[in-house]
Amino acid sequence: MIKFMLKSFILCSVLLFGVLIGMQQANQGMIKMKGYNDPDFQGAFQVDSEKTGEFDASILGNEVTSQDLQQKQEQLEQIEAFNFFSHIGKQFANIVSHGISTLVDLFAQWINGFLE
């Protein structure tokens, strides 16, 4: 299970990285097609360093700061949404799991009684 999750995470990371590279290539293609460098066109992902040693990052023209990320994390922690379908799914999974384990136990007892 851990191998599967690791492979899935690596695959998703590679695909996300590929999408960002594709956006950058499309941007460069637009600049080449236009024939001159327009300052309104921005790259898909830009990182600029300042003299103070701090970095400014932007994805698709939207500035990303650590404060934004902290605010989003606090927002997610405050939202304690109850997902009805998730709850029903968990109950169904527990019922199925308990039922299968009961059937396996009964089958094992039947085989054990048959062999004795």
At 36, give phi and psi (nearest 5°). Answer: -150, 165
Handedness of CA 75, 76, 80, 84 (dihedral sign): positive
Q: Encode pLDDT of 39-60 as tens digits.
A: 665 566 666 666 666 666 776 6
Q: The whole model's pTM is what?
A: 0.34
State yes or no: pLDDT of 25 exceeds 70: yes
d(CA 96, CA 19): 40
